Structure 1
């Protein structure tokens, strides 16, 4: 199998995982829908470049994707402290331009924090600061969602 086909298959798996891993333990009063878009640079008639998000087709290592989760409250009550956790597909790594305040995990979703505050234990027992390539999950805690309120959560990723 050639390298492009391997990445295309990995990308298909990534799209399947675009939806959040979890939200709440019980049937949540908030609906969630995930998607993946590819970043592409478009040059307009004046020669100016701009970045657009498009449906991904063929992807290659180094291509930038944006994973998104749309949420909509279905509740008649305010929903407090709603947690959305998305696993990063193994075919991607968190992009360097991700929000530094984004809550992430580098241990398979066991613990979360800002990337700059996390570390990874090497096979020899030493530790090092966590890097974007170490991130396994991203998480958002929505403090309050009003009845009928909608929003979008995103994170950028790079194809490995």
Structure 2
């Protein structure tokens, strides 16, 4: 099987270049949010335990974990973090299970279990974007993290 390699720096660059923060329609005040991201690769097995290592090189089949740190810099209310996925990975899961995904480039959103492509249920390989709504009470804390995993194609 051919190996697909992408440097971790390139993966972070792709992630940050495609990540956006959007205001929800109900927000009354403008919210300013800073985002930072780190990419880790999962190593090890059940016998040794699984560990996360900073991703330096990625190969096809590697399970990667993205940790997005957000910091609200100004404003009140909640906000939305939207992440178009790089084509080099396919989505697996979010740590807090509150995400919505899109399978059509961000036009429509829902839970993966509820989305269809034609007559079949959508799969993780179909996900093009993922987003999380950060409600006002959580945003009021000032900072937080979102973690999600993907598999390198």
- TM (norm. structure 1) is 0.76
1:113 is matched with which residue? 110
Q: 1:49-83 deviations in whole A, cap 9, x for unaligned?
A: 222221112322111001221001112x5x32301
Tell me how far apart the structure 2 counterparts of residues 129 and 10 of structure 1 sit (CA, whole Å). 33
| Structure exhibiting the larger radius of gyration computed from Cα positions | 1
- The SS at the match of 1:112 is coil
Tell me the matched-pair count: 144
Spell out the pairing of 1:1-160 with structure 2 (5 A cutoff): 3-4=2-3, 7-9=4-6, 13-19=10-16, 21-24=19-22, 28-41=31-44, 49-75=48-74, 77=75, 79-95=76-92, 97-98=93-94, 101-121=98-118, 127-144=119-136, 145-146=139-140, 149-160=142-153
The list of structure 1 runs, each at least 4 consecutive aligned residues, that deviate by more than 4 angstroms after superposition, is: 10-13, 97-101
Gaps of 5+ in 1: 122-126
Gaps of 5+ in 2: 24-29
- TM (norm. structure 2) is 0.80
Tell me how far apart the structure 2 counterparts of residues 12 and 105 of structure 1 sit (CA, whole Å). 26
